């Protein structure tokens, strides 16, 4: 339980259904090691979980995974940015913390199952499990859970996956939960709202380089490190007085050059192909070969509406080809594959 309304309502639903529930808050982050003025909400969040557990008359527990979160999520975050890529720490948090450490600890302490407040669904048949998109298209979180395995799905419940967010708020009031009106959390998983640039600069030293207009080949500005920018980014370039805004279209880490193009729909921002590494398929009996040639859909970032594509393995590379060019396909981000409502799995976008 995060302290938010979604996991609280999920718990209340399960209790109504007759499950013997224990509410667990995971303390994964305080920010103390980074010397930042981070408004870390963990104390308030834990307090909210305790209040909800009291209302629901269930036991409360707290698990501390700060050391592991720092090693497996925060270090990954910095390593990827230092390599010039744009990581997704929420994906890694789910893979390494929630559905690995938390699941293992819960089972070791006697739980039969875990449950979360994710907006996803599970469909099971003959011992096989599928991960489905949440019913609420605005809240679906299957993108973040594509690394789940059959074993993890078998032990997990998603009580609010069939609900729309307004219904969840309504149920929170019905159950008289003290956090019924609490706003949705924002920012990085367990860290909350931070200045990402400031966070990165705590570990990555600025180093100036040129900003080059990809079309004119002329220098149009200076940056203080390509690591601080991502494909498709507009903010922070410091280039004004142009008829249209500039956007980052490419990065050259070796030369420390940031390439930009003018206009939100600059042609160089669009690509039809993406190459993947660390491929994972939720159905262990499935392979890329099984999916080759099939009409699939894929998202290249969270809230990116899945687009028609095909997948193939060629010359030891896994390649996804979209029917139409997609904007800002970014190395380090996850590409997640779908067959309509079914989340098949995905991989990390890498450079060609």
- Is there a catalytic annotation at residue 189? yes
Cα–Cα distance list, 128 to 98, 228, 291 (Å): 21, 42, 18
Give dist(CA 121, CA 160) in Å, integer. 8
CA 15 to chain centre: 28
| Nearest Cα to Cα of residue 96 among 118, 62, 117, 67 | 67
Check residue 329 and report its DSSP letter: -
130, two tokens = 């599928």
Per the rule left: phi > 0, alpha: psi between -120 and 50, beta: everything else, 293 is left
Name the catalytic one among 21, 40, 53, 93.
93
Contact 234/327 with Cβ under 8 angstroms? no
| Residue 93 designated active-site | yes
| Active-site option among 21, 53, 189, 309 | 189
CA distance 277 to 349: 7
| Tokens representing residue 104 in the block | 């293992």
Cα separations in angstroms, 288 against 11, 142, 145, 152, 317: 37, 20, 19, 21, 11
Q: Identify whether the C-beta of residue 297 lies closer than 8 Å to the C-beta of residue 340.
A: yes
CB neighbourhood size of 335 (10 A): 28
Catalytically active residues are: 93, 189
């Amino acid at each position: 339980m995060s302290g938010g309304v979604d996991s609280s309502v999920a718990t209340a639903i399960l209790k109504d259904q007759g499950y013997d529930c224990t509410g667990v808050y995971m303390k994964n982050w305080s920010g103390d090691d980074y010397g930042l003025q981070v408004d870390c909400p963990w104390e308030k969040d834990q307090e909210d979980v305790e209040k909800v557990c009291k209302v629901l008359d269930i036991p409360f527990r707290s698990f501390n995974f700060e050391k592991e979160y720092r090693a497996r999520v925060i270090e990954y975050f910095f390593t990827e940015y230092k390599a010039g890529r744009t990581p997704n720490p929420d994906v890694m948090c789910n893979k390494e913390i929630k559905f690995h450490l938390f699941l293992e600890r819960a089972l070791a302490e006697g739980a039969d199952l875990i449950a979360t407040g994710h907006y996803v669904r599970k469909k099971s048949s003959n011992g096989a499990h599928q991960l489905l998109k949440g019913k609420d298209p605005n809240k679906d979180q299957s993108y973040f859970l594509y690394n789940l395995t059959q074993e993890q799905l078998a032990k997990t419940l998603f009580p609010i996956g069939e609900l729309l967010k307004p219904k969840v708020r309504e149920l929170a009031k019905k159950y008289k939960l003290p956090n019924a009106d609490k706003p949705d959390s924002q920012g990085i998983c367990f860290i909350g709202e931070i200045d990402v640039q400031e966070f990165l600069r705590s570990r990555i030293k600025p180093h100036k380089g040129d900003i080059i207009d990809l079309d004119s080949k002329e220098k149009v500005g200076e940056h203080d490190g390509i690591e601080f920018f991502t494909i498709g980014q507009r903010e922070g370039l410091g280039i004004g007085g142009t008829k249209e805004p500039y956007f980052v279209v490419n990065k050259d880490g070796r030369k420390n050059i940031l390439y930009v193009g003018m206009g939100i729909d600059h042609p160089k921002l669009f690509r039809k192909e993406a190459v993947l590494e660390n491929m994972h398929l939720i159905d262990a009996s499935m392979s890329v070969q099984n999916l080759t040639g099939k009409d699939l859909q894929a998202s290249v970032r969270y809230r990116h509406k899945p687009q028609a594509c095909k997948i193939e393995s060629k010359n030891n590379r896994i390649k996804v080809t979209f029917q139409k060019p997609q904007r800002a396909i970014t190395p380090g981000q996850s590409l997640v594959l779908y067959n309509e409502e079914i989340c098949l799995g995905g991989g990390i976008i890498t450079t060609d």
